[in-house]
Amino acid sequence: MKRTFALILVVLAAAALFGGLVHAVLVATHVSEPAAITVYGLTPRRIWATTAFALALVGVVIGALALVRPASRFGAASGRLGAIVALVAGLIAAVNGGLNLAIARGGPGSGNGVVGGAAAQVLGMIGMVIAGIILAHSRRAGSGVTSPSRNE
């Protein structure tokens, strides 16, 4: 019961932090004011932002799995491979989210996909941080220094 409650609190705190970071990105890019006229439905920029967000989410999930289980059934190198995939996916998503925000004219509800772009940028950066942690850990673990052989 205590563990479940703690897990729920951690998930809520992470969601609140994510929402705060997305809002901070929207404020920093000066697109936080809602649009005067709300556009409903999918627009090309919303699809672009949603695709970038999905790519960032995939990168974070792959990075988290590589961080939690570095030596899974795919072999010992899957942690490093997962980190590289997470790094590339996070970089692509963060750049696309930033580009979406850079060309946006209007805030949330304008049809420009600014919320998805900001979310993709934040999640992409999170994925890159996770990948950096994994790569730094794998670099320390496999530094190439071996003990001298006793079979002389």
pLDDT digits (tens, 9 = 90+) for 1-32: 788 888 888 888 888 888 888 888 888 887 77
User: What pLDDT is recorded for position 73?
Assistant: 57
What are the tens digits of pLDDT across the range 105-132?
A: 877 878 788 889 999 999 999 999 999 9
* pTM score of the predicted model: 0.76
| Percent of the chain predicted with pLDDT > 90 | 26
Give the pLDDT band of residue 74 (cuts 50, 70, 90). Answer: low
Average pLDDT over residues 85-103: 92
Q: What is the 3-state secondary structure (H, E, C) of the chain?
A: CHHHHHHHHHHHHHHHHHHHHHHHHHHHCCCCCCCCCCCCCCCHHHHHHHHHHHHHHHHHHHHHHHHHCCCECCECCHHHHHHHHHHHHHHHHHHHHHHHHHHCCCCCCCCCCHHHHHHHHHHHHHHHHHHHHHHHHHHHHCCCCCCCCCCC
At 40 the pLDDT is 81
Please state the domain extents for the chain: 21-141
